[in-house]
């Protein structure tokens, strides 16, 4: 492999590493959004001492979708696995992560 090819491969690894970190940050934002919706939904369901109950919207119910949650968790797990693999490869090349 020529020096240019090697540098291009390292550049691709670093780009993929950065992209994976960004993707995980977006997934984290989504999990925070879902967590807040679940907290709100739980609070509404547990609200006992009043006749006024806040509405639960379709957005609140959508976070209870098992397939979406399973897919989100799988995406998070595979992204962390990929990030760790990339981190190891970059570290083996002596590059900071």
Along the chain (97 residues), what's the average pLDDT of each consecutive run of 10 residues? 91 97 98 91 74 74 89 97 97 91
Query: How many CB atoms are closer than 10 A to CB 79?
Result: 16
- Rg of the chain over all Cα atoms, to the nearest angstrom: 21
Whether 76 and 24 have beta carbons less than 8 Å apart is answered as yes
Tell me which residue of 40, 76, 75 sits closest to 57, measured CA to CA. 40
DSSP state of 2: -
pLDDT at 52: 59
pTM for the full predicted model: 0.82
Residues 6+ apart with CB under 8 A from 32: none
């Amino acid at each position: 492999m020529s020096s240019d090819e090697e540098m291009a491969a390292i550049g691709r690894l670093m780009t993929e590493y950065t992209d994976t970190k960004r993707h995980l940050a977006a997934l984290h934002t989504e999990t925070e959004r879902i967590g807040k919706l679940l907290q709100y939904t739980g609070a509404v369901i547990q609200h006992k001492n009043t006749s006024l109950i806040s509405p639960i919207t379709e957005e609140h119910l959508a976070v209870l979708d098992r397939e979406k949650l399973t897919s989100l968790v799988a995406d998070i797990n595979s992204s962390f696995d990929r990030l760790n693999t990339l981190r190891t490869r970059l570290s083996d090349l002596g590059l900071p992560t």
